[in-house]
Amino acid sequence: MNHDEQNNPPKKIGRLGFLTKGATTIAGAALASAVPAAAAGDTNPFAPRSPGMDELGETVIAHPYGMPIKYEASVIRRNVPFLTATEESSVSFTPLQDLDGIITPNGLCFVRDHGGTPIIDPAEHRLMIDGLVDRPLVFTMEELKRYPSESHIHFTECPANGGMEWRGAQLQSLQFTHGMVHCCEWTGVKLSVLMKEAGVKPQAKWMLAEGADAAAMTRSIPVWKALDDVMVVWSQNGERLRASNGYPVRLIVPGWQGNVNVKWLRRLKFGEEPWMTREETSKYTDLLADGKARQFAWIIETKSVITSPCPENPMKGKGFTEVTGLAWSGRGKIKRVDVSTDGGINWHPAKLQEPILSKCLTRFRFPWEWHGTDALLQSRAVDETGYVQPTLTQLRAVRGTNAIYNDNAIQTWHVNPDGKVDNVQVS
C-alpha cells in the first residue's frame, strides 16, 4: 500500500494546520464516508433542567475515600493474559488513552510484579543498609520519615514496554503497546542522605537493592547513580504508596528502566562488583542479532507516542482534531516533539505543554485538520541532549528483532477513512 499520493496534507494545510475557506467547503461536500460529520450535533431532546438538579445529591462523606464516578468505569488497568504464565509474575497496563496531562492517578499506574503484590504492615517493615559501610543501619518507617524529604515528578517505564512490537505491529491498542509507563510525584529522602548516614566506603562502587516480595527482587545499581538523584520514597502523588507500587517504601531511580526502581525496599547493600542477579543477566538484557546481549542498558532513551487519536480513540469526525500525546527521556528534559501525518515524510513542530521537567512525561499537542482520508500519524521526540527518537527501522538496524526490551521507536497510527485507527508499522 503506497501512501505517497494519498498522504500529503502539508500541501493543503497552513502552518498551524487550519484549512483555507475553500478547502473547508470541499471537505464538507465529501460526506460519503461513515464518519459522523462534526456538524451533525446533539440529537437528544433538550431538557429544561439539567440532570442532577431535581433531588439532593450524595452526602459529602458518602465516599470517605473517593473513587471515579461509575461513568468512568472503563478507565482501568488491563492485562494481556497470554503474555505471562501467571497473573502474579505479570503486568497490567496504564490506560494512557483515557488520561490527560502528565500525572498518572495512583490507581491506574501500571503494575509489573515478579512474585505478586505483597501487603506489608509498615510497623513490621525494616530497611537495612549494609555491606561496605562504616555504620550498618536498620530503619523503621517512622525513622525513615524523620529524614528531610523532597518531591520530584518522574516517569517510570518498564523496558519491556512495546516489547511485543519488535517483529511487527501486533497489539491493536495504545494501552498495550505503551501502557507500561506512569508518571507520579514521588516524595521521600534522597538516597545520598542515607548513604552519608551509613558512611559508604570509598571502595564501594555498586549497590544491591532488594525488595521484600516473593521474588525478593534484586538489582545492582552503580554508586554514582545512587549518589546522583535516586530517592527512597514513601509517597506518590501526595498519598502513601499503593501496595502495588511498593508500599511502604521503594526506590525511585529517575530515568532508568522500571525494574531497578525496586519496590517494597528492604535492603541496600554496598559492594565492589555488580551482583549479576537473574534479573540483570537472563532478563532485562537486550539480545542482539549477532547473539550478544546488551546488559545494564538502564537509561530509558527518548520516546513519545500519540495518545489521541489511537486505536482506542478513533476519529470523531472530519475537521479540526487536536492530536495529543506524551514524550519522555531518561536523560533529561524533552526539547521538542514533531508530528507527522504522512508517515514521516514531513514533520511539524508540536506545542509542548508546561511543565517540562527532567525525566518526566511531557504533554504535546498538535492542531490537525482531518479530511477523512488515510493518514499515518507519528510523533518524534528530541531531548535536551539532542537525542532524536529513532524509527523502528533505525532501531532494528542496530538491535535486530530479538531484543524484547528498550523499544523506543516512533509509533505509527493509521487513520482509516472510516475513522478507525490501526497500529501499523511503516517503511
Partner 1 sequence: MFKFPKATIPLLLVVALAGAFVIADAQSYPSHYGFGTPATVAQQKAWNDDVNGLTGAGLPPGHGSVADGQNLYEAKCAVCHGDFGEGENRYPVLAGGNGTLTSARPVKTVGSYWPYAPTLYDYIRRAMPFNAPGSLTNDQVYAISAYVLNLNNLVPANAVLDAKTLAAIKMPNRNGFINEHLKPDVHAVACMTNCKKSVTITSNLARTLGITPNETGSTPDERIITGSGPSADAGSSAAPAGGSAKHVASAPVAFSQIEPIVAQRCAVCHAAHPTEAGFSSAPMGIMLDTPARIAALASRIKQQAVTSHTMPIGNMTGMTDNERALLGKWIDQGAKIH
Which residues 247-286 are close enough to bind partner 1 by CB under 8 A?
266-267, 269, 271, 273-278, 281-282, 285
**Quick one: 274 or 419, whose CB is closer to partner 1?**
274
The minimum distance between CB 181 and partner 1, in angstroms, equals 18
The pairing of beta strand 319-328 with beta strand 303-308: antiparallel
The minimum distance between CB 360 and partner 1, in angstroms, equals 19
Strand runs labelled E in 259-411: 265-271, 286-287, 293-294, 303-308, 319-328, 334-340, 348-349, 351-352, 362-370, 375-383
**Quick one: 7 or 261, whose CB is closer to partner 1?**
7
Contact 17, 348 (CB under 8 A): yes
Contact 268, 207 (CB under 8 A): yes
Tell me the window of 22-30, 41-49, 134-142, 179-187 that interacts with partner 1 (CB under 8 A): 134-142
Contact 191, 163 (CB under 8 A): no
Rule CB under 8 A: choose which of 108, 376, 377, 415 binds partner 1: 376
The minimum distance between CB 132 and partner 1, in angstroms, equals 12
The minimum distance between CB 382 and partner 1, in angstroms, equals 6
**Quick one: 198 or 319, whose CB is closer to partner 1?**
198
The pairing of beta strand 181-190 with beta strand 231-236: antiparallel
Q: Which of residues 188-227 bind partner 1 (CB under 8 A)?
A: 193, 196-197, 208, 210, 214-216, 218, 222
> Closest Cα to residue 184, out of 120, 114, 252?
252
**Quick one: 321 or 406, whose CB is closer to partner 1?**
406
Q: Which of residues 170-189 bind partner 1 (CB under 8 A)?
A: 170-173, 176
Within 10 angstroms of residue 211's Cβ, the number of other Cβ atoms is: 23
Tell me the window of 49-57, 80-88, 153-161, 236-244 that interacts with partner 1 (CB under 8 A): 80-88
SS (H, E, C) 51-88: CCCCCCCCCCCCCCCCCCCHHHCCCCCEECHHHCCCCC
Tell me the window of 179-187, 314-322, 356-364, 381-389 that interacts with partner 1 (CB under 8 A): 381-389
Beta-carbon contacts of 140 under 8 Å, excluding residues fewer than 6 positions away, are 123, 125, 126
Under the binding rule (CB under 8 A), the answer on residue 135 touching partner 1 is yes
SS3 221: strand
Q: Which of residues 383-402 bind partner 1 (CB under 8 A)?
A: 387-391, 394-395, 398-399, 401-402
Contact 24, 39 (CB under 8 A): no
**Quick one: 206 or 319, whose CB is closer to partner 1?**
206
The minimum distance between CB 416 and partner 1, in angstroms, equals 9
* Burial degree of 156 (CB within 10 A; 0-12, 13-18, 19+): buried
From residue 327 to residue 366, what is the string marking binding to partner 1 with x (rule CB under 8 A)? ---------x-x---xxxxxxx------------------
Q: Which of residues 7-66 bind partner 1 (CB under 8 A)?
A: 7, 10
Residue count, binding to partner 1 (CB under 8 A) = 112
Q: Which of residues 85-104 bind partner 1 (CB under 8 A)?
A: 85-86, 88-89
